[in-house]
Amino acid sequence: MKIALISENSQAAKNGIIHEALTSVAEPLGHQVFNYGMYTAEDTAQLTYVMNGLLTGILLNSGAADFVVTGCGTGTGSMLACNAMPGVFCGLVIDPTDAFLFSQINAGNAVSMPYAKGFGWAAELNLQDCYRKLFEGEPGAGYPKERAQIMATNRGILGDLKKATCHDMPTVLRTVDQDLLRAAVAGERFQEYFFANADDGEIVDILRAL
Residue 153 belongs to what domain range?
Answer: 2-209
Nearest to 159, CA basis, from 97, 93, 88, 103: 88
Residues 6+ apart with CB under 8 A from 13: 40, 41
For the segment 109-127, what is each residue's pLDDT rounded down to a tens digit? 999 999 999 999 999 999 9
For the segment 39-55, what is each residue's pLDDT rounded down to a tens digit? 999 999 999 999 999 99
For the segment 163-175, what is each residue's pLDDT rounded down to a tens digit? 999 999 999 999 9
Domain count, the chain: 1
Compute the distance between CA of residue 202 and CA of residue 200 in angstroms, rounded to an integer.
Answer: 6
End-to-end CA distance of the chain: 28
Instruction: Please state the pTM of the whole predicted model.
Output: 0.96
Q: What is the dihedral of CA 101, 109, 165, 199, to 10 degrees?
A: -170
Compute the distance between CA of residue 43 and CA of residue 38 in angstroms, rounded to an integer.
Answer: 7
In percent, the amount of the chain with pLDDT more than 90 equals 99
Question: What CATH number does the domain containing 92 carry?
Answer: 3.40.1400.10
**pLDDT category of residue 77 using cuts at 50, 70 and 90:** very high
